[in-house]
Amino acid sequence: MIGVCPRCRVGEVLAILRLPHTWTNASGGRVRGVSEVLLCARCDADDPVTRHFPAHGPVRPQDADRLARDLLRRLARARPPKPDEDALKAETEAWYRGDL
């Protein structure tokens, strides 16, 4: 078991999808990051990917192709979260004030 879902605090995390992404910061520089999208047995019960993990065991070889297809579909839908502009701004202001 990977852990308990931080969204519902009950469901089991079945898989963690890591999405590399980049964004442009205020000074125009490219920032690289990785967002993690958790697959929760409870929150994502309707997701096709979730049905590949019912027995909490390894994925059966005959299901691997189907799982790969469902994962790719899931990744295509997943959007990495935007950086929190307000938090970034507050941190920048604190830095200029010398609080950091």
Q: Is 38 helix (H, G, I), strand (E, B) or coil?
A: strand
Nearer to Zn ion, 40 or 49 (CB): 40
Least distance in angstroms from the C-beta of 29 to Zn ion: 35
Nearer to Zn ion, 5 or 49 (CB): 5
Least distance in angstroms from the C-beta of 15 to Zn ion: 12
Nearer to Zn ion, 12 or 70 (CB): 12
**β-bridge mates for residue 20, sequence order:** 34
Question: Closest Cα partner for 34 from 67, 89, 75?
Answer: 75
Least distance in angstroms from the C-beta of 11 to Zn ion: 3
What is the spatial distance between Cα 93 and Cα 100, in angstroms, rounded to a whole number?
9
Site residues, Zn ion (CB under 5 A): 5, 7-8, 11, 40, 42-43
The helix/strand count (H/E) of the chain reads as 2, 2
Least distance in angstroms from the C-beta of 47 to Zn ion: 11
Nearer to Zn ion, 2 or 59 (CB): 2
Between the CA of residue 43 and those of 9, 26, 40, what are the distances in Å? 10, 35, 5
